[in-house]
């Protein structure tokens, strides 16, 4: 089985081995020490200020998106959302549920987010920008510097869903003025689904503390306070948190820059090979995490033919179902995996 998906992805042998072990009990000093250590490594990898807060939620990524939005913003705010695909729409749907007013920068499929598109939204009193920095449904990587400059000059908070971008693209909370960042275990961290994290700057924490949470389970302040002693309010996905600690150390000892450049190298390797066999890749800026490939109405057939050959790429939903497949570059993959994928793809389309 070979997965070129964006989560779950191919896992590392260390993770698979650990996942077969008996879980420990977690209300212990050892578990707390591990959680405080995970917090410290995570903050270093994110370029987060020391006084930032980290919540480890047992939820899929969407749970962390909802926690970040609903604990930070209220019906008195006005929010701007970049909607260039399914994950941008998800932010809008979360705001709808929580009665948080918003406007959106709506991008057509294939359209690049530019500074010109943002200009129209200046001076309108928005309190925050919500963006999925890699809109995983299309693979477009938005320009963090563009968004960061816009938010700084407008005095807006910048809330970034970096679920598919973390460890694949260059991001730094302090440098990029990111107030809140949202992560999840099943993307480049290559773990089981189940743990998602919200990391917030001291400024965002001050705001969260003042706003009553609309949710019992997703009350972020509760998680932040318990994490001060390395604990979570409720039983977490204990095994995934153990694997997370190992993975954070693996990434840190390799070096974040090296991890990102290895992913970037795999992405270019696939992209060159794909163009060589005549596949078409959209021309908007791409995340290193995933490559979108355009098809002429037969994406579903190609997806199924690959599945018959033991290969799973990432299908698309909605309007893009028959037009777009996505090939992931995160997880335990190497150039030889792409050689196999490209050979099979060439046979299928040839």
Per-residue tokens: 42: 């995570």
SS3 279: coil
Distance between CA atoms of 275 and 281, rounded to whole angstroms?
Answer: 8
Summarize as ranges the residues that interact with ligand PLP (CB under 6 A).
6-7, 60-62, 87, 132, 136, 161, 163-164, 184, 187
Of 289 and 311, which CB lies nearer to ligand PLP in the complex structure? 289
Distance between CA atoms of 2 and 107, rounded to whole angstroms?
Answer: 32
Of 154 and 161, which CB lies nearer to ligand PLP in the complex structure? 161
Of 87 and 224, which CB lies nearer to ligand PLP in the complex structure? 87
Of 197 and 204, which CB lies nearer to ligand PLP in the complex structure? 197
Angle between the 220-227 and 29-46 helix axes, to the nearest 10 degrees?
110
Of 89 and 271, which CB lies nearer to ligand PLP in the complex structure? 89
Question: Least distance to ligand PLP from the beta carbon of 7, Å?
Answer: 5
Number of H-type helices and E-type strands within the chain: 12, 13
CB-closest chain residue to ligand PLP: 61
Question: Least distance to ligand PLP from the beta carbon of 348, Å?
Answer: 26
Of 185 and 231, which CB lies nearer to ligand PLP in the complex structure? 185
Is 245 within 8 Å of 195 (Cβ atoms)? no
Question: Least distance to ligand PLP from the beta carbon of 136, Å?
Answer: 3
Question: Least distance to ligand PLP from the beta carbon of 196, Å?
Answer: 7
Nearest to 33 by CA among 24, 22, 21: 24
Question: Least distance to ligand PLP from the beta carbon of 19, Å?
Answer: 18
Question: Least distance to ligand PLP from the beta carbon of 166, Å?
Answer: 10
For the CA atoms of 253, 258, 264, 268, the dihedral, rounded to the nearest 10 degrees, stands at: -120
Is 197 within 8 Å of 54 (Cβ atoms)? yes
SS3 183: strand
Of 60 and 322, which CB lies nearer to ligand PLP in the complex structure? 60
Residues in the chain, total: 350
Determine the longest span between alpha carbons in the chain, in angstroms.
60
Residue 242: left if φ>0, alpha if ψ -120 to 50, beta else—which one?
alpha
Question: Least distance to ligand PLP from the beta carbon of 290, Å?
Answer: 9
């Amino acid at each position: 089985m070979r997965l070129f998906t964006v989560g779950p992805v191919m896992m590392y042998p260390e993770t698979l081995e650990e996942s077969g072990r008996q879980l420990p009990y977690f209300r212990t000093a050892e578990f707390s020490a591990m959680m405080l250590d995970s917090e410290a490594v995570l903050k270093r990898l994110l370029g987060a200020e020391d006084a930032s807060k980290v919540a480890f939620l047992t939820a899929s990524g969407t749970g962390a998106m909802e926690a970040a939005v609903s604990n930070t913003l209220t019906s008195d705010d006005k929010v701007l959302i970049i909607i260039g695909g399914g994950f941008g729409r998800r932010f809008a749907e979360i705001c709808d549920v929580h009665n948080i007013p918003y406007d959106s920068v709506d991008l057509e499929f294939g359209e690049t987010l530019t500074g010109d598109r943002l200009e129209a939204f200046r001076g309108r009193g928005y309190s925050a920008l919500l963006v999925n920095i890699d809109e995983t449904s299309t693979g477009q990587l938005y320009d963090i510097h563009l968004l960061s400059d816009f938010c700084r000059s407008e005095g807006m908070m910048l809330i970034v869903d970096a679920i598919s971008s973390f460890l694949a693209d260059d991001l730094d909370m302090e440098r990029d003025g990111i107030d809140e960042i949202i992560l999840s275990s099943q993307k480049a961290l290559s773990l089981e689904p189940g743990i998602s994290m919200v990391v917030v700057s001291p400024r965002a924490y001050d705001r969260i503390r003042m706003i009553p949470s609309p949710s019992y389970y997703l009350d972020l302040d509760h998680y932040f306070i318990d994490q001060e002693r390395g604990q979570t309010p409720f039983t977490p996905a204990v095994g995934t948190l153990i694997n997370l600690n190992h993975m954070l150390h693996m990434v840190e000892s390799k070096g974040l820059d090296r991890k990102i450049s290895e992913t970037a190298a795999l992405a270019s390797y696939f992209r060159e090979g794909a163009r060589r066999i005549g596949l078409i890749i959209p021309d908007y800026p791409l995340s290193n995490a995933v490559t979108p490939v355009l098809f002429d109405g037969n994406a579903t057939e190609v997806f199924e033919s690959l599945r018959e050959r033991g290969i799973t790429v990432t299908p698309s939903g909605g309007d893009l179902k028959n037009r777009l497949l996505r090939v992931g570059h995160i997880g335990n993959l190497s150039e030889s995996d792409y050689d196999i994928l490209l050979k099979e793809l060439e046979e299928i389309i040839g």
